[in-house]
Every structure is written in structure tokens, then in C-alpha cells.
Amino acid sequence: MYRIGVDLGGTNIAVGLVNEDLKLVTKKSMPTRAERPPEEIVSDIATLCRAVCEEQGLALGEIACVGIATPGIANRDTGVVEYANNLPFHQFPIADRLKAQLGVSNVRIENDANAAAWGEAVAGAAKGSKNSVMITLGTGVGGGIIIDNKVFSGFNYAGGELGHIVIEVDGAPCSCGRKGCWEAYSSATALIRMTKEKLEECRATGRATIMTDQPKISGRTACDAMRAGDQAAKEVYDKYVKYLASGLATIINIFQPEVISLGGGVSGEGQSLIDSLLPIVRKEQYGGGVVPMTDIRIAKLGNDAGIIGAAMLG
Amino acid sequence: MYRIGVDLGGTNIAVGLVNEDLKLVTKKSMPTRAERPPEEIVSDIATLCRAVCEEQGLALGEIACVGIATPGIANRDTGVVEYANNLPFHQFPIADRLKAQLGVSNVRIENDANAAAWGEAVAGAAKGSKNSVMITLGTGVGGGIIIDNKVFSGFNYAGGELGHIVIEVDGAPCSCGRKGCWEAYSSATALIRMTKEKLEECRATGRATIMTDQPKISGRTACDAMRAGDQAAKEVYDKYVKYLASGLATIINIFQPEVISLGGGVSGEGQSLIDSLLPIVRKEQYGGGVVPMTDIRIAKLGNDAGIIGAAMLG
């Protein structure tokens, strides 16, 4: 049977139809307009669900499950979003509302980072493993934990906030209010900050770097310039990789998962990022050479991980 | 039925008989003498198992299970200790050897920190919870993770090394070879180091502190002096508590367990330690005020947690 996955973000709602081979058959989206009442957001989700079905000539009754990947704390047992930072949800029974709108009985919800991890576990980079962790290196650092083929998020559904493990007490300020979170060192945002700091330093000391010639500083600026042989860029990259590797070794020491998959913008660096990380991670992790070791892989599903993971919740 | 728990340490072997109320009925111990061949260590474990049974007038056939809490990486599925730092075990099938010696069929093994966490979960501070974490603040910082009423240690049994999450990149050297591990800031050893550093500073600056009058510096020195009103001691204590709280908030952000229990020497400070930690932890953790929060408690079983947890493995 077909399934529907909903990736509800602060900016866009994306809804996809997933077939029995766990492939995304079609996808439609519209802006979230998060300032609206939550009921209106649910109506648009329902509209998109009907639209992807219609496009494939399916009735809603032929859908095995509708899953929603949502920001915030998602109570998967009640279908209630307890709280979301960037959406007007406070103890909002989103699953029940969507059930009522669509007339379907099987609607599940999960936190978006957890749903993406579940997607990679069932159909992506961690397929075939029972224990995996996904780390998303984007605006922030997201985390999703799969234990024994289930999403793990603690007794209150708020766990798995792997971007908010402190790796430097009193370190760089984090969006969450803490100081020194992994997110403040390993997100794309942090990489851009490190790049800008290095540019500032180069300017102040009169050191030459081709990074100065870029029209806009992005997460790619330092990576591209390093590959072109720029030494200042290599220093930025090495610093970023050092912090990222430290956090990954910590994740391994805690979870010893079969697979860690890396997603988000920075993971676009691909295998060369993994090749930079591995020597540091292996040196810092526990159990090296004694027991089988965690594979670190680039995530496979890209932006569709959340949709596919959500569809596979039921 | 009765059960036997074995707490195998680098210094001592302790074996206890546990009754159906999960109480320790009797306990016997002898030195490990870790330099010996592993077979001799197993023989002594068997001797102690027989001795605790004899003392209670029980036959070995009346024992439901023998569990061994061992240092190192314990493969609970095969009963093999893959590796231990402070014992001569390298892929040593300890469960099979003890089965053969005792003629019993049900022998289980688990890493010692995990077994202690399991003990606290079934019979101690975390009793009644399904998800809990135990942190032992002793010579090192040990961790044990209980998820869904089971010990969690990853796919290779080497996980749960919570003392070896880096909380300060390039920080204080850790016994594991990394720098800046939580263990290097929150163990009793670290508290003693911080106390000595403060004493050095007081000496160098001529600042008065009653800690100078102590014959020997221990983990208690700063705590006791602080309670007597010593300002330098309070600075040591506050620093220690700050790092400990930071790590605990990290553990909560990852696991959101129902209970964290604190064991080991430093936990002897009791409720006053918890009272010092809570305001910092609550401020730094995720989900506060929105979802139910993790209870932080002092462990209840003391040195018997490993024995009781081991006995309850089967």
C-alpha cells in the first residue's frame, strides 16, 4: 500500500506519496505561513495529502498511513505536538485534527529530526541497521536516535537533542541559550562564522586568501578555497572538522551505533568530509580495534528523509 | 528463587546472594589478584558462589541465575568479555567457564557500570522507571543507560561510556587518552585536582583557607571546608558543580530519562549536591516547563548496585 509523509517546516509544508519500495512517488508543497492559526496549517496539509493521491489516482482509503514530521516536541503516543519553537503549536492535537479532516484513522507524528533519522534507517544510509544515529549539519545541528529499530527520544519525547551537548563549557553562544553546544561549532552557521573570523584575521594581518574574492560567504566558501590550495581556508576547515570529529567520537562513546549518517548542507562535501573526520574519530573513540566499529556515512535521502521517515512511522 | 551477583573488580571479587525481594542476603569477597591467568580468577568466583550458597544452606541448583558485573566490554549475548583494561581478559568466555565450574546453566555477564545502573533501575533510586541513566562519580566517571527496561550499550556492547563525552575540546587530559572528557572534570579525582590547584593558588597569593590544615586532600576536603564557611573551598565546589551540571544537562538533552541516579564517592554529599546542581541543570536543559522533567537522585544501593544488578540480569 501507499503511504503519505508530511514534512512540516517553519517555512514550507512538503507532502509526499511513498510506495511499497519506500520510494517517493510524488511530492507537493506550499508555504507554511507559520503565523496562522494551527487549524489552517492542518487544512493545507490535508489539501496537499488529497492532491498527491489525486495525482496518482488513489483514494485516501488506499493509504496505509499518514505520518507528520514536525518541529518541536512530538508526543508519538497521543499525536499531540507539546510545543514547537517556530510554529504556533502548544499542546496541539495535530494527529486528531488531520484524521478528522481526511477521514483516515492512521495518522502518526514524530519530531522532524527523528523522522529524518528513521527515514535514513529504513530506506537510506543506515538501511539494514538496528541502531543508528543521524546528525544533520545545517542551520543548526539536529540529531535523531534509532535504537532497536525504534525512534528513541526519552520518556517525554524531548530527547535526541544531539546538537545541544556542550563540547566547550563557557564556549560560543548557542541559539538554545546554552554556551558551547556542539551546534555552535558544527552547524553550517558555525562554519560560516569560523570562515568570517578567519577573513577578519587575514584582513587585519594583511594575509592573502582567495576567500576574500567570494561575493558571499557560505558553508562552501572555506571548503572550496581549501581544495583550491588556500592555506587560510584549510585552517578554517581543519578547525571545523576537529570539533565535528570530537562530537562524533562522543556520540560513538555513548551509543556505539552501527551507523552514523551525516545529513544537511555541510554533508554535501561528501566522502572527502568523511575521510577528513575518520582519522580523528577513530583516535578518540572507545573500543577501536577490539569490537566492530561504527560506520560514518553521508545520508542518502537528502531533503526527502523527513517525508519518507514520516510515511514509515505507522 | 535466589540469585547470585558477582562484582568482579580490578582489586576485589565480591559475590552476593540476592533474594526474591531483591535484597542482598549475604556477601563474600576476596582479592582479585588481576595478574593471574583468567581461569584462576573464575575458580575463585566459583568458590565464592559456593560459599554464599552454603552459608544460607542452599544448593547451587536452587539458584535462578548467576550474573557477573565485569570491567571492560562484555558481550551479553555470547558471555564473552571482549576486552578489559585492568583484567587479563581478551575475548575470554567467562560465562561458559563459570557454567562449567559451577554446573549451572544460567550465567549472564554485563559491564560493571551497566550492571550498577541496572541494579539501581530494578531495586534502587530509579526503581519503577523504564528509562534511566546512572552516573558514578568515583575515580572515574562511569555511565550506565537503561532504555525500555533493558541495558543499552550499542551494537558492539562498548557504548554507555558517559564519562568520555568531551565537554571541553583540548581540555584537561583524561585517562582514556582524549582531552577534556567529562571524567576529567567531574570524577572525584578531578575534584581533588581542583582542590589542589586552589590550594596552590592560595599559597602563591597568601590567601587564607582552612583547607591548608587538612592532613590529606580528598574529594571531601573542599565540600567540608565550604560548609565550614571557607570561601576558597566554595570556589572549588562551585567550579566542580558547574562542570557536573553541564554534563548532566547534556545527558538530559540526549536521553530525557525519567531518572538520573548519581553514585560513587562524590554522591556521598547527598541531597545538598543535588540542590546545588538542579538550578544549573534546569536552566541548561531542553524542554523545561513544557514536558515532565528528569528526576536527579542519589543512588541507593551503594557498592552493592553491581552485585544486585548482576544478579538480576538473568
A293 touches B at CB < 8 Å: yes
User: Does the reported pTM lie above 0.90?
Assistant: yes
Q: Rounded to an integer, what distance in angstroms lies between the CA atom of residue B277 and that of residue B238?
A: 10
Which residues does chain B have within 8 Å of residue A146's beta carbon, measured at their own beta carbons? none
CA pseudo-torsion sign B99, B105, B111, B113: negative
Residues B253 and A164: beta-carbon distance below 8 Å: yes
Amino acid occupying residue A153 = S
Nearest CA in chain B to A170: B168
Please write the tens of the pLDDT for every residue from B9-45.
Answer: 999 999 999 999 999 999 999 999 999 999 999 999 9
Taking only residues 167 to 186 of chain A, the set having a beta carbon closer than 8 angstroms to any beta carbon of chain B reads 167-169, 176-178, 185
Q: How far is CA B174 from the centre of its chain?
A: 17
Please write the tens of the pLDDT for every residue from B145-158.
Answer: 999 999 999 999 99
Residues 6 or more apart whose CB falls under 8 angstroms from that of B124 comprise B261, B299, B300, B301, B305, B308
Along chain A (314 residues), what's the average pLDDT of each consecutive run of 10 residues?
A: 96 97 98 96 98 97 97 97 92 98 96 98 98 97 97 97 97 94 98 97 96 92 97 98 98 98 97 98 89 97 97 96
Tell the burial category of A182 from Cβ atoms under 10 Å away from its Cβ (0-12, 13-18, 19+). buried
Rg (CA), chain A: 20
Strands (E), B76-155: 80-83, 90-92, 107-111, 132-137, 141-147, 150-152
Q: How far is A305 from chain B (nearest CA, A)?
A: 21
CA pseudo-torsion sign A136, A142, A143, A144: negative
User: What mean pLDDT is predicted for residues B59-82?
Assistant: 97
Q: Return the closest-CA partner of residue B125 out of B287, B260, B294, B271.
A: B260
Per this entry, what is the length of chain A? 314
For A287, which of B73, B167, B292 is closest by C-beta distance?
B73
Q: What is the layout of strands, in order, in the sheet containing A295-298?
A: A150-152, A141-147, A132-137, A259-263, A295-298
A161 touches B at CB < 8 Å: yes
pLDDT averaged over chain B?
A: 96
Best of A78, A90, A156 to substitute, by most chain B Cβ atoms within 10 angstroms, is: A156
- Predicted confidence (pLDDT) at residue B288 exceeds the cutoff of 80: no
State phi, psi for B72 to the nearest 5 degrees. 90, -160
Residues 6 or more apart whose CB falls under 8 angstroms from that of A187 comprise A137, A138, A139, A140, A141, A163, A266
Q: Return the closest-CA partner of residue A186 out of A287, A110, A260.
A: A260
Region(s) of chain A under CATH 3.30.420.40: 2-124+304-311, 132-298
Q: How confident is the model at residue B293 (pLDDT cuts 50, 70, 90)?
A: very high
Q: Rounded to an integer, what distance in angstroms lies between the CA atom of residue A265 and that of residue A133?
A: 17
- What nine digits make up the cell of A135? 546528525
User: What mean pLDDT is predicted for residues B281-299?
Assistant: 93
| Interface touch A254/B165, C-beta < 8 Å | yes
pLDDT at position A287, please? 82
**A243: helix, strand or coil:** helix
B132 touches A at CB < 8 Å: no
Q: What architecture does CATH give domain B2-124+304-311? A: 2-Layer Sandwich (3.30)
State phi, psi for B257 to the nearest 5 degrees. -80, 160
pLDDT at position B85, please? 82
Residues A24 and A76: beta-carbon distance below 8 Å: no
Task: Just give the CATH number of A132-298.
Answer: 3.30.420.40
